[in-house]
Chain A
């Protein structure tokens, strides 16, 4: 049996018919063809699938599409401004070498934005602790941590 879902993704109203078991990440990737959001595990550990649901970071592999119905979703594709200007967190990742292969990156950036929102002027230890749910195999986290610390300071300083 298929169920109707309606939600806003990156500011655009979308709808679709899904099975009850369809995950939000499957709806985003397979139905909406927004392939920036990645799947890196099957146990809710890696965070590659992180998106924002009503402004909060959520692992989209751990939420059903039907649960997201009526909600506001932001994926990595919707983060930069329409004119291509990067979000301060994206810009900081570029500046601090926060990515190598890029696979964990969309999730890292989305969680990074959430960290900056909750922790203005976040320090290194806060960021490391907050990244508990996101795994990167390439960078040793160094550039990621630096990027989020930097972006959080800049955003708190109103430069964003």
Chain B
């Protein structure tokens, strides 16, 4: 299909616009007569609200109105509640606390909204917010994950009587212990999977306008349909078609921008209340205390192996810190997000899994790049390294003995998932070869001469992708023969403008440059639009387009037959041309004709405009997988780690545009390395967020990373017509395990076998000092 077809490294269409300052982000939107919103956020982690005095704020210059949660409640605004429901083995339901859009009588985390001030300028709104007097009666707080689950911790939700939302188990532990008892070797690991702050570079923002009895709201989302529905139902009490959500350019999503955040509800409600447009421009400090956080688990796990180093049983106990409320997906992440894939690429039949989602006085956690799968894969890889130590087998050998082989595919995991394809041994071979694993010891010796400790590590991963099981895509062929794609997916960095145009050129022969994309506006996007998250777009959007295109060809065939005076059965379509015998007519001609009634055969509606509502089995996913290898050098005097080499072997199925998929890999890897190396979210014992800005929070910078060599081990997916697998989250799954493995390999002379992430110089140095002291003692 020439230089713009499927599989070509096509340069992005969106780039010129974004490189010349012509992007259109939410903060670029302003309306005449708009007021500015500033939120009063709790400085307390846990407290009763005794009173809120808004009088001084109301009297301040420029202030138009001040509202609290009670005002919204009095207006009939509802509450947010998690989508998730689980039961324990005895059938008892998970506790599901309700969240007010602004809290009314109690605050449960630092940053929780208590009131909103609306004023003529942003500065006046912020000054007004300073004048709202809230009388707090402080309560003991829970800042740490371990403490939240402890029996002596303060309880955040008294009506539930415990911070543990549910104790979910996949089966009684005794069933698996029976298998574990037969193991020759038992290994145990304890791991903290650190909380991270997702931090898209665009701070959150919203501009809402009430006009003609309709709400329009601009905000950075990952596809606004669900937010539209939530706002209409819970906040505005309107039919959904009276609410319009627009997300033009969005500065990063990473899973956490697809949510109905309370701020969106407040500005939506407020604009109708005061009859003027309302704008809120969040600053980075607000990102830290109001965007959902990611990860935050404590894992204890036990692996039993037989005399051949084959796993006989696995037991995992997970505590996940969901913050002050269960967010949309919070408790689901370890279970449906990651847990389903916990044995990872390994063939493990006997698995016990216990999960306790806990509530604490912290920002709620929800889906962040990988959403449970990075945690699950990291756990498996730490277990494999520990198993290698315990059995004396090499790290790759223990893995080779346990991975699911290609001849076992499709492979039904013990959690019920069906892995259709993947070449897990091939991934390892390819990555180790590219990394010159065999020649590593010579490099280690060379580093040692310079006083540096060199290490190499690898990690396997597999991660179910696909997200929600429905999507709708529409293709309109204009009378000029150009195509407009109306997407249910939403690109916020993934390059859909480019990739969808490649697909249209491939399927319909419409030139790449004649394809445009419309997305991110609930008024004109397809009705069943779902959005972009869970590495789903290549599948749900791509196959949706493929099927829409098929409908275009089917209808076009009828019109072409009419134009050519041929039998429709005799008409074939290739590269934009319909032919029958010696006659032919182009798709552009057919498109033009389709809008002229005289050309239409009986029963054919005018226009060439087709959509496809794609539904897949909700249990069906695709399975991106791979092996990543990292080489590092540790400075033992400083604890500083330098990344020297990164090999990423990924099986993303059929690659639609390698240039863009590589970008997805690099980005995912950087977020994985960030979690493993620099990113630490610190709450103190009082529940204060200590790392609340880019000054304190370690975002990975350019100098933390090396170049990443991304290779594909392409095994087409069998469960979708394009053969695609996800790509967006793979890097974040592969990087942490490989990184920690590499550092521990460098430090093996000290007997250091694990350090909890992030491996900051301080942590590495401290581990070395402890190991030295222990040796001396």
Inside 8 A of B670's CB, which chain A residues have their CB?
137, 139-141
Neighbour of B252 across the interface among A101, A141, A143, CB < 8 A = A101
**A residues 37-87 touching B (CB-CB < 8 Å):** 37-43, 45-46, 48, 75-77, 79-80, 86
Question: Which of the 9-residue segments B209-217, B270-278, B551-559, B655-663 touches chain A?
Answer: B655-663
**A residues 91-114 touching B (CB-CB < 8 Å):** 93-95, 97, 99-106, 109
Is B694 in contact with A141, judged by CB distance below 8 angstroms?
A: no
Question: Which of the 9-residue segments A1-9, A124-132, A151-159 touches chain B?
Answer: A124-132
Which of B24, B123, B666 counts the most chain A CB atoms within 10 A?
B666
Whole-angstrom distance between the alpha carbons of A131 and B671 in the complex?
17
Q: Is A34 an interface residue (CB 8 A)?
A: yes
Is B707 in contact with A142, judged by CB distance below 8 angstroms?
A: yes
Is B703 in contact with A128, judged by CB distance below 8 angstroms?
A: yes
Q: Is B22 an interface residue (CB 8 A)?
A: yes
Chain B minimum-CB-distance residue to A37: B21
Question: Which of the 9-residue segments B143-151, B198-206, B318-326 touches chain A?
Answer: B198-206
Q: Is B596 an interface residue (CB 8 A)?
A: no
Chain B interface secondary structure, helix, strand, loop or mixed?
loop
Inside 8 A of B564's CB, which chain A residues have their CB?
none
Known: A97-B662, A135-B701. Is A43-B11 also a contact (CB below 8 A)? no
**B residues 451-508 touching A (CB-CB < 8 Å):** 492-495
Q: Is B249 an interface residue (CB 8 A)?
A: yes
Inside 8 A of B719's CB, which chain A residues have their CB?
none
Q: Is B28 an interface residue (CB 8 A)?
A: yes
Is B19 in contact with A109, judged by CB distance below 8 angstroms?
A: yes
Is A102 in contact with B662, judged by CB distance below 8 angstroms?
A: no
Count of A-B contacts judged by CB separation below 8 Å = 175
Known: A43-B694, A46-B201. Is A100-B11 also a contact (CB below 8 A)? no
Neighbour of B18 across the interface among A79, A80, A99, A144, CB < 8 A = A99
Whole-angstrom distance between the alpha carbons of A79 and B523 in the complex?
35
Chain A interface secondary structure, helix, strand, loop or mixed?
loop
Inside 8 A of A141's CB, which chain B residues have their CB?
666, 670, 701-702, 705
Known: A35-B21, A140-B708, A142-B666. Is A101-B701 also a contact (CB below 8 A)? no
Q: Is A138 an interface residue (CB 8 A)?
A: yes
Which of A19, A101, A136 counts the most chain B CB atoms within 10 A?
A101
Is A42 in contact with B283, judged by CB distance below 8 angstroms?
A: yes
Whole-angstrom distance between the alpha carbons of A131 and B492 in the complex?
23
Closest CB-CB distance, A125 to chain B, in whole Å?
Answer: 8
Is B18 in contact with A131, judged by CB distance below 8 angstroms?
A: no
Q: Is A36 an interface residue (CB 8 A)?
A: yes
Known: A141-B705, A142-B666. Is A76-B21 also a contact (CB below 8 A)? yes
Inside 8 A of B123's CB, which chain A residues have their CB?
19, 21
Q: Is A145 an interface residue (CB 8 A)?
A: yes
**A residues 20-43 touching B (CB-CB < 8 Å):** 21, 29, 34-43
Q: Mark B513-533, 1 if CB is under 8 A from A, else 0.
A: 000000000000000000000
Is A144 in contact with B702, judged by CB distance below 8 angstroms?
A: yes
Q: Is B582 an interface residue (CB 8 A)?
A: no
Chain A minimum-CB-distance residue to B253: A101
Inside 8 A of B495's CB, which chain A residues have their CB?
100
Could you jot down 18 A-B contacts, CB within 8 Å? A36-B21, A36-B23, A45-B695, A46-B201, A80-B20, A86-B16, A90-B20, A93-B19, A94-B12, A101-B253, A128-B702, A131-B703, A135-B699, A137-B252, A138-B663, A139-B670, A140-B705, A145-B702
